[in-house]
Amino acid sequence: MDPTETTEHPRRRAAVIFIFVTVLIDILSFGIIIPVLPHLIVELVGGSIAHAAVWASGFGTVFMLMQFVCSPIQGALSDRFGRRAVILISCCGLGVDFVVMALAPVLWLLFVGRAVSGMCAASFTTANAYIADITPREKRAAAFGLLGAAFGLGFIVGPAVGGFLGHIWIRLPFWVAACLSLTNFCYGLLVLPESLPRERRSSRLEWKQANPLGSLLLLKRYPQVFGLAVVFFLISLAQYSLNATFVLYTDYRFGWGTNTVGYALGVVGLCTAIVQGGLVRPLAPKLGDRRLMLMGLALAVAGYAIFGFAPVAWLFWIGIPFLCLGGLAGPPAQSVMTQQVDPAEQGRLQGALSSLRSFAGIFGPLLFANLFALFISKHAPVRDFSGVSFVLAAILMLAALVLTARVTRGMAIPGPVPLPAPREPDVSEPL
């Protein structure tokens, strides 16, 4: 065994743990303010819920727009100057921004704070690139699954904690989120090593590629990566059917109140964490990245279809595990893309993918929400088809499944890891 491997492996494990904690704390920070931000907006606009709803939609759009613009910039900066500095600056900026939002006396300052949050949240791009730097190719799917588990856990715990804190004081969740982010910054300042050596960094910062459109040029240079990036976009777009219509659809179709919806979303978050953190790691080496992608996409198609056509609530519940098992497709897809791209361009790859996800977030909610509204209105082209948004999501996932099967055919992807051959007994050894 290489003697350096034994020393590097503990460091790599510690770095993966830190990135997991970083993503978890960032998601917790964002999740904590989810229940209280709309109420704070109502307070700052003078109590008008209708007026606040318009501003809240603007807050969501500017957040995704800033991620769309800044993700490739952060990715390019991390390729040029290293991952550590970009991650730490983002953590610090996020903490300071939450302080500004906690103190904001007027709406426009809160709005600016939300925009800055979108800029700093683009650090997820660099976190993914960091994982690609330090993880062997055959283990990247499991590592990306671990980050997916952090997302699931953060969205389980964050809103619950934020709702509790918001009952005490509406601005308290912002202060707690600030403390979490700044604590994460201090922790990283002490223990986080750099993952990208100087000799593997980009020789210069190319601003023409450090933008959403320029970053797509990187994807076009790798045709197979470009095809998988389209798959990644379709998956992201389909997921916004949940964000846009889950609460309203279950209320309209099954009469679910806030408690039942909360339980259901908690089950979704829990199942997501189990799938991403507990199933990807053992399944990836057994099935291989390609088979795991195809299986995950097929399960997602089934999950969205069950959501869209379920006539009764108990059948809708059955769709949740199918949909969460669809999360098996994401980590191996990211793993395969990182294997096709030069190490000095991992940050730009992750920036391009984050921009695609953000682009889906800009217009996806509008698409699915308006489609749902149309099919429950008196002008609906088809009666009793309120699950149309989930059916469209199932079609998008089916398209992603077909495209994945086509793009990955013949691609050099690590397959299942063979079991070691049984050791032949040495007859010279004493029994």
Residue 398 lies in a domain: yes
Stretch 228-246: mean pLDDT, rounded? 87
Q: What is the pLDDT of residue 35?
A: 74
The total number of structural domains that make up the chain: 2
Q: Is the domain of 221 the same as that of 144?
A: no
pLDDT band of residue 423 (cuts 50, 70, 90) is very low
* Residue 430 placed within a domain: no
Number of Cβ within a 10 Å radius of residue 117: 25
232 is a domain residue: yes
pLDDT in tens, 146-158: 777 777 777 777 7
- Sorted by sequence, the CB contacts under 8 Å of residue 394 that are 6+ apart come out as 238, 301, 304, 305, 308
- Residue 418 in tokens: 């063979």
Smallest CA-to-CA distance from 27 within 178, 150, 118 is with: 150
C-alpha closest to that of 242 among 336, 319, 179, 138: 319
Q: Is position 116 within any domain?
A: yes
Note whether 155 and 230 are same-domain residues: no
Q: Is 257 in the same domain as 292?
A: yes
Contact 253, 372 (CB under 8 A): no
pLDDT of 111 > 70? The answer is: yes
Residue 324 near residue 272, CB atoms below 8 Å: yes
Mean per-residue pLDDT, 1-14 = 49
pLDDT value at residue 12: 66
The encoded tokens of residue 45 equal 């606009």
Residues 126, 86: contact at Cβ < 8 Å? yes
Residue 265 lies in a domain: yes
Q: What's the pLDDT score for residue 201?
A: 80
Domain match, 94 and 172 both: yes
pLDDT band, residue 74 (cuts 50/70/90): confident
Band of residue 76 on the pLDDT scale cut at 50, 70, 90: confident
Q: What is the mean pLDDT of residues 349-361?
A: 80
- Does 24 lie in the same domain as 90? yes
List the one residue out of 330, 324, 325, 322 whose CA is nearest residue 268.
Answer: 324
Structure token digits, residue 153: 């856990």
What DSSP state is assigned to residue 289?
H
Using 50, 70 and 90 to split pLDDT, how confident is the model at 418? very low
The pLDDT tens digits of the residues spanning 366-376 come to: 788 888 888 88
**CATH number for the domain harbouring residue 101:** 1.20.1250.20
Does the structure show a pLDDT above 50 at 379? yes
pLDDT score, position 178: 92
40 inside domain: yes
205 Cα distance to chain centroid: 26
| Position 430 pLDDT exceeds 50 | no
Percent of the chain at pLDDT above 90?
19
107 and 239 both lie in a single domain: no
Of residues 220 and 107, more confidently modeled: 107
End-to-end distance of the chain based on CA atoms, in angstroms?
Answer: 27
* Same domain for 110 and 232: no
Examine the pLDDT at 9 and tell me if it is beyond 70: no
User: Which residue do the tokens 């791209």 mark?
Assistant: 341
Per the prediction, the chain carries an average pLDDT of 80
The answer to whether position 246 is within a domain reads yes
- Residue 244, helix vs strand vs coil: helix
Residue 112 to residue 245: CA distance in whole angstroms: 27
What pLDDT score does 198 carry?
83
User: Using an 8 Å Cβ cutoff, are 401 and 238 in contact?
Assistant: no
Banded model confidence at residue 6, pLDDT cuts 50, 70, 90: very low
Average pLDDT estimate for 297-302: 96
Same structural domain, 243 and 324? yes
Which residue blocks in 288-387 are alpha helix, DSSP H? 289-309, 313-325, 330-340, 346-375
pLDDT digits (tens, 9 = 90+) for 320-343: 999 999 989 988 888 888 888 777
Domain shared by 120 and 238, yes or no: no
pLDDT single digits (tens) 18-34: 788 878 887 888 778 87
In degrees to the nearest 10, what's the CA dihedral of 90, 95, 97, 100? -160
What the block records as the tokens of 360 is: 């889906």
pLDDT reading at 305 higher than 90? yes
pLDDT of residue 57: 67
> What is the band of 252 on the pLDDT scale with cuts at 50, 70, 90?
confident
Look up the domain containing 160 and give its range.
7-190
Position 207 scores a pLDDT of 61
- Within a domain: residue 199? no
Within this chain, do residues 391 and 253 fall inside the same structural domain, yes or no?
Answer: yes
Q: What is the pLDDT of residue 114?
A: 86
What is the per-residue pLDDT across 128-138, written as a single tens digit (0 to 9) for each?
888 888 888 77
DSSP readout, 397-421?
A: HHHHHHHHHHHTTT-----PPPPPP
Q: Tell me how far apart the alpha carbons of residues 17 and 188 are, in angstroms, rounded to a whole number.
A: 11
Do 275 and 186 share a domain, yes or no?
no
User: Do residues 265 and 406 share a domain?
Assistant: yes
Mean per-residue pLDDT, 40-56? 77
pTM over 0.85: no
Per-residue pLDDT at 428: 36
Secondary structure string (H, E, C) spanning 144-174: HHHHHHHHHHHHHHHHHHHHHHHHHCCCHHH
Distances in Å between the Cα of 245 and the Cα atoms of 75, 84, 207, 248 are: 32, 38, 38, 5
